[in-house]
Amino acid sequence: MAKAKDFIVGLGLLGSGTVGEAIQDLVFAAGNRKEPGLRLKIAKIYTRRPDTGHPKKKKWYTTHRELFTTNPTEVIDHPEADIIIEALGSEDERDLATFKGYIIRALGNGKSVVTSDKAVLARFGQEIWEAAARSGQEIRFEACVGGGIPIIRALTQSFAAETPEAIYGIINGTSNYILSEMDKYGKSYAQALREAQERGYAETNPKSDVSGLDAEAKLMLLAGVTFGLHMSPGGVWRKGIEEIHPVDFLYASRKGRSTIKPLAVARSDGSTVEALVAPALVPHDHFLAAIDGATNAILFKGQKSAAGDREDKSEIRGWNYAFVGPGAGGGPTAVAVMGDVWELARGAREHGAGFPSLVAPGTLAVQSQARISACFYVRFVVKDRVGIVADICQAFGQAGINVSEIWQLGHSQEELENLHRSYRLDVKPREILPFVITLERATVGQMTAALAAIRRKDYILVEPVWLPIWGTG
């Protein structure tokens, strides 16, 4: 009996950077994990610079030169490319618009698309899903959130019986690495960032990671899948990690029995969803406090529709499922991309042409940023004089905010000198006073108003650092 021929599914690959090259490794070097009757084959690869000279020459260019092109339409329009993989990656607005065009053109050509480009989906998601609906093709984006963590597949396939209450966690490995190093070793932000760059965890320009832009794009996708929200950039309340100082870890640990973690949170009260990205104080006994380095962790809290299970609403204990894994890097991201590719190659119609979500789109609204509420940690560095704490507490009271505690450590001369040096203060180290005020639950609007009044005081030496406290109030 003659052996049946393999069914070949052709791939068009846009991008040959860190992720694109890791995809090529999986297809070319790992034997393509050939399955009975089904084989994947790369038809064409687009890269802007296929041969940049040793040692930066594209890894597979020499042995597969005929597959490479500097013209993206040769990939998108290739007759043998059944699935287009978009792994270009950029934060430049002009590039994002260009990449959106590539995706929409591929859909119009009758090809499904797998992407690792969360920035494109966050910025142009509505247009892209409308194009997918018109063409009857699918968009798969598992690799956009959590790197190698299969969170999108879990949400869309495993939690259909759940009414979601919250999804939150650590979804930017660069920020988590930096804060972990500051916490464990007392490194400055600049030192920890430099080491992250040396290890390949942070880009030469780390703005997207440390400012929270990367996490914002990921959270928009998570909130879309979980709560049916179509959010626009800027809809998430966002704070970066750039202001965090080693002294904040001293106060968090010694007084608050906490550490500081870069959280992304979307949680519902049944009618609105709060969405925020910010470094936050996380108690030492919380699961997320132990997530170190570049690791990601995503927690899902749901109410089982049939059981009506709402026995635990607390932020500190309230999750049903935890997903932990490598959150970045070419290898984990490529594995997630290829998982989507294989699903499509097998003919699975997991999502249909529309955006997948647990809640019908339009059911919930996004909470305004000014009304997002939390308990807050506020760290001050001031000129040491009588009456300052009372004056600041009065300003919070005038904004309708109740003070919870006042934390003041007995700082060593070395700690004061480090503060003095890092902030380049024009007063002597012995004349500065760091302390922390924690606040009962307040809104972002109240905090903004209170701090606007406080920062005008002549005794303020450093812009106050204010962070939500997770797991209280």
**Catalytic residue list:** 218
Strand locations in 192-320 (E) = 237-238, 258-268, 272-283, 295-304
- Rounded CA-CA distance 180/187 in Å is 9
Rounded Cα distance between 278 and 399, Å, is 22
What is the greatest pairwise CA distance in the chain?
95
Q: Is 342:7 a contact under the CB 8 Å cutoff? A: no
**Cα dihedral 14, 16, 20, 25 sign:** positive
Q: Find out whether 221 and 122 touch, Cβ atoms under 8 Å.
A: yes
53 alpha-carbon distance from chain centroid: 34
For the record, the structure tokens of 299 come out as: 């927690």
- Strand segments, DSSP code E, in 161-314 are 162-170, 237-238, 258-268, 272-283, 295-304
In order, the DSSP letters of 110-153 are T-EEEE--HHHHHHHHHHHHHHHHHHT--EE-GGGSSTT--HHH
Q: Can you give the C-alpha Rg of the chain in angstroms?
A: 25
Nearest to 277 by CA among 367, 354, 217: 217
Phi, psi at 328, each rounded to 5°:
-155, 175
Which pairs from 91-99 meet CB under 8 Å and 24+ separation? Answer: 91/119, 91/207, 91/208, 91/213, 93/123, 96/120, 96/123, 96/124, 97/124, 99/14
Residue among 40, 23, 15, 6 nearest 344 (CA):
40
DSSP 35: B
Which pair of tokens denotes residue 278?
């910010």
Query: What is the crossing angle of helices 93-108 and 118-135, to 10°?
Result: 20
Strand partners, 8: 39
**Total length of the chain:** 473
CB 180 within 8 A of CB 195: no
Q: Are 150 and 140 in contact (CB under 8 A)?
A: no
